[in-house]
Every structure is written in structure tokens, then in C-alpha cells.
Structure 1
Amino acid sequence: MVSRRQLISGLGAGLLCLMIGAPSTASAFNPQRIRQKMQQAHGASGVALVDEWLAMIERLRGARLGDQMSEVNDFFNRKVRWRDDIDVWGQEDYWATPLEMLGKREGDCEDYSIAKYITLKELGVPGNKLRMIYVRAQIGRSQRSQAHMVLGYYQTPASEPLLLDNIIPSIRPASERDDLTPVFSFNSSGLWAGGSEESRADPLARLSRWQSVVNRMRDQGFI
């Protein structure tokens, strides 16, 4: 089992590369386009859920950071049912946009993390303080190791991150999540090495999925 010190240091390890599918620095968030695309794809029920999400964003603008993170984390954990990609999309590993996930009302860990990341950025949380963190999670009594993703908030680049997760719904510092072994983390600006030499995860293959989801989010009006 990884130690707490290893977890914290691993989640903040060195930067490997820059400018990974980075959206424009100017905000292109377009609620009207998002609603239009949702109507086309999922009809009135999809639009109703998007409207709940948009209303939450407007309500939380200017709120305390802790309240923003708590409500955003809770919204997606409550509104979206966890399911494997193969059952939702017929693919082993598909990274959905927030529109796709809310339209289906189903998603897996990457989808939760992406949706929380995009929402917090729209609320004004600096993107350089947020990273999607790919980990190995020890699941259940058997402690079976499973690939997983969480969203981390870093007050400073060297800070211990707070983790937003769909497995454990409360937001906790990394030191309290010794069930997680870091592999790598990333955001729109870069890719960071993790603390697990044993992992066979291929960051570049996975980040090609990030580039794909960025392109679809741009088309749908999120960025």
C-alpha cells in the first residue's frame, strides 16, 4: 500500500509536457448552444437537467470556494449514475463531455472528473489549481486494484490536493485517501508524473482521449 507521504508527493510530481489540448484562454462558454445541442441529442429531459446545472452555476458565482466545490461535487454525484463505458457507450474507454454524461444521466469516473473540472473553471476557479488525477484505487473488502480518476484542487502547485471523487462523496485531502495510488495527473496545460512505477497506464494514449473530448466540448459550447 502506498504511504500517505508518497500519495501526496506523487500527486504533485514533476511536469512532463505542456499545452495538452489547451482551450483558448478566452472564455467561450455558451449556455444557449449547450441547451440547443442537448435538445437535439436528448430532448426535453436532457434540457431540464442542463437547466438545473446552469442554474447551479449562476447561483454559485461569487460564492465561497468551499461551497462551490462541495455543491459541484454533490450535483454530479447525485444526478449521474455510475456505469461502465462498455454499458453506456459500447466502448471499453470513452471520455464523455458534460453534455453527453448529463444526457445519458450515466457515466464513469473520467466523466465525473471532466464535468467537475469544466464547471469549477466556469465558476472562476483557476485552471492551474485543478488537475484530473489518474490513480489505482483499492476497491471493497478484497482491496482489488482498479483504474480510477478523481479531480484534485491545489491551493499552490506544491500543496496537498483536495480530492473530488464519486466513490467517496465527501471532499477529502489526499492524506486521507490511502486507498489511492497516483499514476499521473493533467489539466489543459500539462501532464504530471505520478508516484507509481508499477502502473502500465499510457498517459499519451489516454490524453488522446482528452484531446477528443476537448474538441467535442468546444463544439458543444463548453469552452
Structure 2
Amino acid sequence: MLVLLCATCSTLVRAKIDFNLDSESYFRIEIAYGKEASKKVKGWRKLINELQGEDLDEKLYEINRFFNRFDFVDDLVHWQQKDYWATPIEFISTGAGDCEDYTIAKYFSLIELGIPEQQLRLMYVTALELRQPHMVLAYYETPTSIPLVLDNINRRILPANKRRDLSPIYSFNGNGLWAAKAMGTGRKLRGSGPMKMWDDMVERLDRVMYGDKQE
């Protein structure tokens, strides 16, 4: 289930996190989720390393395919919370999540692969056929391009103008929050309120990555 953020939400979305996990990080993952979870995360890191030299289309395709294999499970069932944004580590370790979790994991993975943050946006939409809010990842070749949509419902990567089943609401990344306009760039919004869901997720990610060593 999605929390629909208002125009006054924070535009500060921290994205650059060092995902080169050390032995202590993997130990913390094993303690929290078991040895199998540690193997899953290592498999993700292996994929990231293998894709570093590939072209853009291959990176988008493989990251989209990798995460779309995971099970869709509602937050109430999976986390016993009405709305919960899982870290990529939590999503990979448990092998399940909802639309925000797919999108967040793809977002961080593509940044790890060197795709500039300004070319990626987490986009809130309405899934018209399902009649419910949804989140997808949008990739923009240029600031004014029609973006490509990475989605866990329709697993094909398609230009936004081919996704007539989605109605955009707004999008965000580390550079700001935008009012969506026909799945395009839209109008940048101003605001200074805290984006609590994201902040909570990043704080949990820091604890897994760095333990008590974080500043």
C-alpha cells in the first residue's frame, strides 16, 4: 500500500550508499535473516559486478528481471505494518515485498551501476486496471525525454507513452519532487517537510551496512 506524499514533502532523498558489504555486514544480515539471506545478497552483489561493463539496455533489462522474480507480498502480511518501505537488503533477504520495494531496489541497483541519479525517478502512479496507487521506476535519457518504465506489474520495459494503464501523480529522487505531467518531466515542486518513510528506510539500511560505526 502506498503513502501518497504531498507537495510539501522533503526533496532530500539520499541515494549514494556504499553497497560494498564487508564480512561484518554479511554477519549482520545472517543474524537478522539467516544464512540463505546472506547468499541472496551475495548473488545480487555478483550481478552488480558482472553488469558494470555492460551497456545501458542490458543494465536496465537485467536489474528489472532480477527483482521482478521476487514475490509480491502486501506490507500487512509481510511486515505486519500498513505501509513499510523495505531496504534493498531487506527485500533481497526476504525475497518478497510490494511495489515500493521493487522500485527502491531497482533505483539503488542502477545507481550502483553508474546511472546518474538525475536520470532516475521513483514515480507514483495510479494503476488504472487495478484501480489502486502504485510505484514504478522511470529512466530518463534526457530531462525532456519520455521515460522508460521499470515495473513489477508489466514486466516489459516500455516508454511511458505506451503504458496507458498508468496515470502519473508525481515522482521524486535525490534532486527533488516533481508534479507528473503525462509521464514526462513535469513541474518541480518546492517543499521542506520530512520524508519519514524514506528516512526510516535509509536509517535501517545504515544499521545493516555499518552497524555502530556509522557517524
Whether TM exceeds 0.5 here: the answer is yes
Q: Give 1:101's aligned amino acid.
A: F
Does residue 147 of structure 1 match 2:133? yes
Correspondent of 1:190 among 176, 194, 209: 176
Does residue 217 of structure 1 match 2:205? yes
Residue in 2 that maps onto 1:65: 56
Per-residue CA deviations over 1:117-158 (Å, capped at 9, x if unaligned) read 00000010101100000000023xxxx411100000011111
User: Which structure 2 residues correspond to residues 13-92 of structure 1 after superposition, within 5 A?
Assistant: 19-23=11-15, 28-32=18-22, 33-78=24-69, 80-92=70-82
Residue in 2 that maps onto 1:157: 143
Give the conservation status (yes or no) of the 8 Å contact 2:11–2:172.
no
Q: Counterparts of 2:95 and 2:197 in 1: how far apart (Å)?
A: 20
Q: Counterparts of 1:62 and 1:114 in 2: how far apart (Å)?
A: 22
Q: Counterparts of 2:128 and 2:28 in 1: how far apart (Å)?
A: 38
Unaligned segments of structure 1, at least 5 residues: 1-14, 197-202
Give the conservation status (yes or no) of the 8 Å contact 1:18–1:189.
no
Q: Counterparts of 2:86 and 2:43 in 1: how far apart (Å)?
A: 19
SS of 1:185's equivalent in the other structure is strand
Per-residue CA deviations over 1:75-129 (Å, capped at 9, x if unaligned) read 0111x10011011011111100011111211100000000000000001010110
Give the conservation status (yes or no) of the 8 Å contact 1:16–1:193.
no
Q: Give 1:22's aligned amino acid.
A: R
Give the conservation status (yes or no) of the 8 Å contact 2:10–2:193.
no
User: Which structure 2 residues correspond to residues 107-118 of structure 1 after superposition, within 5 A?
Assistant: 107-118=97-108
Q: Counterparts of 2:32 and 2:116 in 1: how far apart (Å)?
A: 31
Number of residue pairs matched?
A: 196
Q: Counterparts of 1:162 and 1:20 in 2: how far apart (Å)?
A: 23
Distance 1:194 1:204, change over 3 A: farther
SS of 1:51's equivalent in the other structure is helix
Give the conservation status (yes or no) of the 8 Å contact 2:10–2:194.
no
Q: Give 2:118's aligned amino acid.
A: N
Q: Counterparts of 2:144 and 2:28 in 1: how far apart (Å)?
A: 39
Give the conservation status (yes or no) of the 8 Å contact 1:97–1:111.
yes
Q: TM-score, normalised by structure 1?
A: 0.80
Residue in 1 that maps onto 2:196: 208
Does residue 134 of structure 1 match 2:132? no
Q: TM-score, normalised by structure 2?
A: 0.83
1:211 Cα deviation after fit:
1.8
Query: Which gives a bigger RCO, structure 1 or 2 (Cα 8 Å, sep 6+)?
Result: 1
1:182 Cα deviation after fit:
0.6
Q: Tell me the percent identity.
A: 42
Give the conservation status (yes or no) of the 8 Å contact 2:139–2:148.
yes
